[in-house]
Amino acid sequence: MKWRDDELAIVTGGGTGLGRAIARGLAKSGARVLIIGRREAPLADTAAFDPERIGVLSADLAEPEERARVAAAVPRGTTVRALVHNAGALEPMGPLREVDAEAWRRAMAINVEAPVFLTQALLPHTARGSRVLHISSGAAHKPTAGWGAYCASKAALYMLYQVYREELWPEGVLFGSIRPGVVDTPMQELIRSQSASRFPSVERFIKLKENGQLYSAESAADFVLWALIETGDRQFTEIEWNIADEEHQQRWRATRQL
Protein backbone atom coordinates (compact mmCIF):
# COMPACT_ATOMS: atom_id res chain seq x y z
CA MET A 1 0.00 0.00 0.00
CA LYS A 2 1.43 3.36 -1.06
CA TRP A 3 0.11 6.19 1.11
CA ARG A 4 -1.03 9.50 -0.31
CA ASP A 5 -0.89 12.82 1.52
CA ASP A 6 -4.68 13.01 1.63
CA GLU A 7 -5.02 9.63 3.37
CA LEU A 8 -5.11 8.83 7.07
CA ALA A 9 -4.75 5.73 9.25
CA ILE A 10 -6.52 5.69 12.62
CA VAL A 11 -5.46 3.39 15.47
CA THR A 12 -7.45 3.14 18.68
CA GLY A 13 -5.62 2.24 21.86
CA GLY A 14 -2.49 3.73 20.31
CA GLY A 15 -0.80 4.81 23.53
CA THR A 16 0.70 1.51 24.66
CA GLY A 17 1.53 -2.05 23.69
CA LEU A 18 0.33 -3.40 20.38
CA GLY A 19 -1.46 -0.18 19.39
CA ARG A 20 1.72 1.82 19.87
CA ALA A 21 3.72 -0.62 17.75
CA ILE A 22 1.07 -0.62 15.01
CA ALA A 23 0.97 3.18 14.91
CA ARG A 24 4.74 3.47 14.69
CA GLY A 25 4.85 0.80 11.99
CA LEU A 26 2.26 2.68 9.96
CA ALA A 27 4.27 5.88 10.27
CA LYS A 28 7.38 4.05 9.07
CA SER A 29 5.41 2.85 6.04
CA GLY A 30 4.69 6.47 5.12
CA ALA A 31 1.19 6.86 6.54
CA ARG A 32 -0.21 9.82 8.41
CA VAL A 33 -1.58 8.32 11.60
CA LEU A 34 -4.11 9.50 14.19
CA ILE A 35 -3.92 7.59 17.46
CA ILE A 36 -6.78 7.54 19.95
CA GLY A 37 -6.66 6.76 23.66
CA ARG A 38 -7.88 7.99 27.02
CA ARG A 39 -4.52 9.00 28.50
CA GLU A 40 -2.55 11.85 26.98
CA ALA A 41 0.92 10.93 28.26
CA PRO A 42 1.15 7.49 26.57
CA LEU A 43 -0.25 8.95 23.36
CA ALA A 44 2.43 11.65 23.39
CA ASP A 45 5.10 8.99 23.93
CA THR A 46 3.88 7.07 20.87
CA ALA A 47 3.78 10.25 18.77
CA ALA A 48 7.34 11.18 19.79
CA PHE A 49 8.52 8.44 17.43
CA ASP A 50 7.51 10.62 14.45
CA PRO A 51 5.66 13.82 15.46
CA GLU A 52 5.24 14.89 11.84
CA ARG A 53 3.31 11.76 10.92
CA ILE A 54 1.59 10.75 14.17
CA GLY A 55 -1.18 12.94 15.57
CA VAL A 56 -2.99 12.30 18.85
CA LEU A 57 -6.52 12.68 20.15
CA SER A 58 -7.42 11.89 23.74
CA ALA A 59 -10.92 10.40 23.77
CA ASP A 60 -12.98 7.81 25.64
CA LEU A 61 -14.49 5.79 22.82
CA ALA A 62 -17.11 4.30 25.11
CA GLU A 63 -18.89 7.67 24.95
CA PRO A 64 -20.92 8.67 21.85
CA GLU A 65 -19.81 12.31 21.93
CA GLU A 66 -16.17 11.23 22.06
CA ARG A 67 -16.58 9.07 18.97
CA ALA A 68 -18.11 12.08 17.24
CA ARG A 69 -14.99 14.06 18.16
CA VAL A 70 -12.84 11.50 16.38
CA ALA A 71 -14.88 11.78 13.20
CA ALA A 72 -14.77 15.58 13.43
CA ALA A 73 -10.97 15.46 13.71
CA VAL A 74 -10.61 13.99 10.22
CA PRO A 75 -9.66 16.94 7.98
CA ARG A 76 -11.97 17.85 5.11
CA GLY A 77 -10.91 16.07 1.93
CA THR A 78 -9.02 13.34 3.81
CA THR A 79 -9.79 9.67 3.25
CA VAL A 80 -9.54 7.22 6.14
CA ARG A 81 -7.58 4.52 4.33
CA ALA A 82 -7.14 2.30 7.41
CA LEU A 83 -8.97 2.02 10.73
CA VAL A 84 -7.57 -0.36 13.35
CA HIS A 85 -9.89 -1.17 16.26
CA ASN A 86 -7.21 -2.09 18.78
CA ALA A 87 -8.56 -0.54 22.00
CA GLY A 88 -10.05 -3.10 24.36
CA ALA A 89 -10.80 -3.78 28.01
CA LEU A 90 -10.07 -7.08 29.75
CA GLU A 91 -11.89 -6.23 32.95
CA PRO A 92 -14.12 -7.10 34.72
CA MET A 93 -12.47 -10.42 35.50
CA GLY A 94 -13.84 -13.06 37.83
CA PRO A 95 -16.79 -15.48 37.87
CA LEU A 96 -19.82 -14.41 35.85
CA ARG A 97 -22.05 -15.02 38.86
CA GLU A 98 -20.22 -12.18 40.62
CA VAL A 99 -19.80 -9.70 37.77
CA ASP A 100 -20.95 -6.15 38.41
CA ALA A 101 -23.58 -4.92 35.93
CA GLU A 102 -22.02 -1.49 35.48
CA ALA A 103 -18.55 -2.97 34.91
CA TRP A 104 -20.10 -5.36 32.36
CA ARG A 105 -21.76 -2.49 30.50
CA ARG A 106 -18.49 -0.55 30.48
CA ALA A 107 -16.65 -3.49 28.93
CA MET A 108 -19.30 -3.85 26.24
CA ALA A 109 -19.20 -0.13 25.51
CA ILE A 110 -15.43 -0.26 24.95
CA ASN A 111 -15.11 -3.62 23.20
CA VAL A 112 -18.33 -3.73 21.16
CA GLU A 113 -20.13 -0.40 20.93
CA ALA A 114 -17.01 1.65 20.23
CA PRO A 115 -15.96 -0.36 17.15
CA VAL A 116 -19.52 -0.50 15.79
CA PHE A 117 -20.28 3.18 16.12
CA LEU A 118 -16.82 4.59 15.47
CA THR A 119 -16.85 2.70 12.18
CA GLN A 120 -20.30 4.10 11.51
CA ALA A 121 -19.12 7.66 12.24
CA LEU A 122 -16.06 7.32 10.01
CA LEU A 123 -17.68 5.62 7.02
CA PRO A 124 -18.40 8.98 5.32
CA HIS A 125 -14.63 9.52 5.31
CA THR A 126 -13.82 6.15 3.69
CA ALA A 127 -13.51 5.26 0.02
CA ARG A 128 -13.33 2.16 -2.11
CA GLY A 129 -10.29 0.26 -0.88
CA SER A 130 -10.41 1.57 2.69
CA ARG A 131 -9.71 -1.15 5.25
CA VAL A 132 -11.11 -1.66 8.75
CA LEU A 133 -9.32 -4.17 10.98
CA HIS A 134 -10.68 -5.70 14.19
CA ILE A 135 -8.07 -6.90 16.70
CA SER A 136 -9.54 -10.20 17.79
CA SER A 137 -8.52 -12.87 20.29
CA GLY A 138 -8.71 -16.58 20.92
CA ALA A 139 -11.19 -15.56 23.61
CA ALA A 140 -13.69 -14.88 20.81
CA HIS A 141 -13.80 -18.60 20.07
CA LYS A 142 -12.99 -20.40 23.32
CA PRO A 143 -14.65 -19.91 26.73
CA THR A 144 -12.25 -19.09 29.56
CA ALA A 145 -13.31 -19.12 33.20
CA GLY A 146 -12.95 -15.66 34.71
CA TRP A 147 -13.08 -13.91 31.35
CA GLY A 148 -16.83 -13.85 30.78
CA ALA A 149 -17.06 -10.22 29.73
CA TYR A 150 -13.95 -10.40 27.56
CA CYS A 151 -14.96 -13.63 25.82
CA ALA A 152 -18.50 -12.38 25.16
CA SER A 153 -17.34 -9.02 23.83
CA LYS A 154 -14.64 -10.50 21.58
CA ALA A 155 -17.13 -13.04 20.22
CA ALA A 156 -19.46 -10.16 19.41
CA LEU A 157 -16.61 -8.24 17.76
CA TYR A 158 -15.83 -11.25 15.57
CA MET A 159 -19.45 -11.44 14.41
CA LEU A 160 -19.52 -7.69 13.77
CA TYR A 161 -16.49 -8.00 11.49
CA GLN A 162 -18.38 -10.62 9.48
CA VAL A 163 -21.59 -8.61 9.24
CA TYR A 164 -19.83 -5.38 8.30
CA ARG A 165 -17.76 -7.37 5.78
CA GLU A 166 -20.89 -8.64 4.04
CA GLU A 167 -22.68 -5.30 4.12
CA LEU A 168 -19.81 -3.09 2.91
CA TRP A 169 -18.10 -5.36 0.39
CA PRO A 170 -20.28 -4.06 -2.48
CA GLU A 171 -19.10 -0.52 -1.68
CA GLY A 172 -15.46 -1.56 -1.58
CA VAL A 173 -14.88 -0.89 2.13
CA LEU A 174 -13.01 -3.94 3.37
CA PHE A 175 -13.24 -5.51 6.83
CA GLY A 176 -10.71 -7.87 8.37
CA SER A 177 -10.08 -9.55 11.71
CA ILE A 178 -6.81 -10.71 13.22
CA ARG A 179 -5.60 -12.64 16.25
CA PRO A 180 -2.15 -11.27 17.14
CA GLY A 181 -1.37 -13.93 19.75
CA VAL A 182 -0.34 -13.51 23.39
CA VAL A 183 1.59 -10.25 23.23
CA ASP A 184 3.92 -8.84 25.88
CA THR A 185 1.84 -5.75 26.77
CA PRO A 186 0.42 -4.06 29.89
CA MET A 187 -2.69 -6.24 29.49
CA GLN A 188 -0.54 -9.30 30.13
CA GLU A 189 0.79 -7.69 33.30
CA LEU A 190 -2.80 -7.28 34.48
CA ILE A 191 -3.55 -10.92 33.69
CA ARG A 192 -0.53 -12.17 35.64
CA SER A 193 -1.52 -10.10 38.67
CA GLN A 194 -4.82 -11.96 39.14
CA SER A 195 -5.47 -14.54 41.83
CA ALA A 196 -6.24 -18.09 40.79
CA SER A 197 -9.66 -17.75 42.43
CA ARG A 198 -10.54 -14.89 40.07
CA PHE A 199 -8.77 -16.28 37.02
CA PRO A 200 -8.01 -20.03 37.19
CA SER A 201 -5.70 -19.97 34.13
CA VAL A 202 -3.34 -17.36 35.59
CA GLU A 203 -0.47 -19.84 36.04
CA ARG A 204 -0.43 -20.57 32.31
CA PHE A 205 0.15 -16.91 31.51
CA ILE A 206 2.84 -16.60 34.18
CA LYS A 207 4.65 -19.55 32.59
CA LEU A 208 4.36 -18.05 29.10
CA LYS A 209 6.17 -14.96 30.38
CA GLU A 210 8.79 -16.92 32.30
CA ASN A 211 9.51 -19.16 29.31
CA GLY A 212 9.82 -16.27 26.85
CA GLN A 213 6.79 -17.42 24.85
CA LEU A 214 5.08 -14.05 24.47
CA TYR A 215 5.17 -12.26 21.15
CA SER A 216 6.84 -8.88 21.30
CA ALA A 217 4.57 -5.96 20.46
CA GLU A 218 6.78 -5.19 17.45
CA SER A 219 6.60 -8.73 16.05
CA ALA A 220 2.82 -8.94 16.50
CA ALA A 221 2.42 -5.48 14.97
CA ASP A 222 4.43 -6.57 11.92
CA PHE A 223 2.00 -9.46 11.42
CA VAL A 224 -0.94 -7.05 11.81
CA LEU A 225 0.55 -4.58 9.34
CA TRP A 226 1.28 -7.31 6.82
CA ALA A 227 -2.39 -8.37 6.88
CA LEU A 228 -3.61 -4.77 6.82
CA ILE A 229 -1.35 -3.41 4.09
CA GLU A 230 0.05 -6.24 1.99
CA THR A 231 -2.75 -8.77 1.46
CA GLY A 232 -5.15 -8.71 -1.47
CA ASP A 233 -8.73 -7.57 -0.99
CA ARG A 234 -10.27 -11.06 -0.83
CA GLN A 235 -7.34 -12.37 1.17
CA PHE A 236 -7.71 -9.59 3.74
CA THR A 237 -11.42 -10.17 4.31
CA GLU A 238 -12.11 -13.86 3.79
CA ILE A 239 -10.60 -15.32 6.98
CA GLU A 240 -9.60 -14.25 10.45
CA TRP A 241 -5.82 -14.05 10.42
CA ASN A 242 -4.13 -15.85 13.31
CA ILE A 243 -0.43 -15.47 14.12
CA ALA A 244 -0.49 -18.91 15.79
CA ASP A 245 -1.73 -20.61 12.62
CA GLU A 246 1.21 -22.26 10.84
CA GLU A 247 -0.10 -21.52 7.33
CA HIS A 248 -0.76 -17.87 8.21
CA GLN A 249 2.72 -17.57 9.68
CA GLN A 250 4.25 -19.05 6.54
CA ARG A 251 2.45 -16.51 4.32
CA TRP A 252 3.60 -13.65 6.55
CA ARG A 253 7.19 -14.81 6.98
CA ALA A 254 7.56 -15.52 3.25
CA THR A 255 7.17 -11.79 2.62
CA ARG A 256 9.79 -10.99 5.26
CA GLN A 257 12.24 -13.78 4.45
CA LEU A 258 12.37 -14.45 8.19
Residues annotated as catalytic (active site), given as ranges: 150
SS3 205: helix
Instruction: Give me the phi and psi of 77, to 5 degrees please.
Output: 85, 0
Residue 193 to residue 239: CA distance in whole angstroms: 33
Q: What beta strand segments (E) does the chain contain?
A: 7-12, 33-37, 54-58, 79-85, 131-135, 174-179, 240-242
Q: Is the C-alpha dihedral spanning 129, 136, 19, 12 positive or negative? A: positive
Q: b/e for 168-187, b at 16 or more Cβ within 10 A? A: beeeebbbbbbbbbbbbbeb
